[in-house]
Structures are given as structure tokens and as C-alpha cells.
Amino acid sequence: MSVNSNIKGDIFTLVVEGPFSIRELFDALQQGMGVSDFKAPMRALIDARNAIVDSSCENNEEPGFYAEISHCFTPGWAIVASSDGVLFDMARLICTFTDLRGVEMRAYSDIDEAKSRLTWNNSFQQDPFCFVQTLDCRPNFIRSPDQDGAKTPKTAKT
């Protein structure tokens, strides 16, 4: 299982392979946005062609971490997946721990088509109402106090 990120030009890519946890997705996003090559606003591509969403991602509880990052990306994301199930699970998971609710995520089955669509025009022509302030981009990754996203067990009162 692996989740990692890379940056080529102005495209930030999350690559997800095999089974993964929502925590691995969050950590890869945080690590990738922390590198010096990250220059907002970036285009976003999620390559989940080889991803397997397992039962650990089916948890409906709040994950204990949250990412405020929408101001660092252009509003159109591309997700490439081998099946509709993986595609919808990836979109759901991303929206679970980020402020990207309402961001347009387009689905593709071909990586080259997704990259082409991301780069065919600039973000302002794709969405004339998007005025991302690049100088103010400071991603904010919020973690629960125990730093691992796990719920701290309640102690019994005596």
C-alpha cells in the first residue's frame, strides 16, 4: 500500500496504489504541500488507477484531522480511477478531511486525458469567478490533540 505525491510544473499529483488508509492520504497531502516545489495555486490530479479502497476507509466517524487547502488549488480537480467505486470513494474521502466540498472534481479513466484536461487552459478561463490569492496560500493541517487522528477513549467515572 502506498500514497505519495509529486509535482510536475503546476500539477500536484497524489498517487494512490493498493489498499490505503484515509490517514495515509492526509499525510501524503500534507507532506507534498510542504515541499519547496509547491507554488499555489496548483492544479490537482489524483491518480487512483491502482487504488483499492478497503474497509478501514469505510469509517463514517470524523477522522480527527482536517486540511484547509482549497485556496491553494485551482477549483477543478481531476481524479483517475479504474472503477466508479474507487472514483466515488476517493472523492468522498478527500471531502471528508478537507475544505474541498463543492470543488469540481472531474472523473477520468485515462491519465493522459486527465492531464490534458487540467492543462488545456488556465484556471481563470476555466472558471472566471476564481481569483485565488497565491501570496496568501498557507495550507493549514489540523490534527486532533493525540496527533494520530484516533479517538481518545473516555475514562470511566468512579
CATH class given for the domain over 2-143: alpha beta
Nearest CA to 114 out of 88, 148, 155, 80 is that of 80
pLDDT score at 60: 56
User: What are the domain boundaries of the chain?
Assistant: 2-143
pLDDT, tens digit, 9 for 90 and up, residues 105-143: 889 999 999 998 888 755 444 444 445 455 567 889 999
**Mean per-residue pLDDT, 87-104:** 85
pLDDT score at 124: 46
Whether the pLDDT of residue 74 is over 70: the answer is: yes
16 neighbors 3 (Cβ within 8 angstroms): yes
Q: What pTM was estimated for this model as a whole?
A: 0.79
What gap in Å lies between CA 145 and CA 61, rounded to an integer? 16
pLDDT score at 155: 41
**Mean per-residue pLDDT, 94-98:** 89
Choice among 30-34, 116-120, 144-148 with the minimum mean pLDDT: 144-148
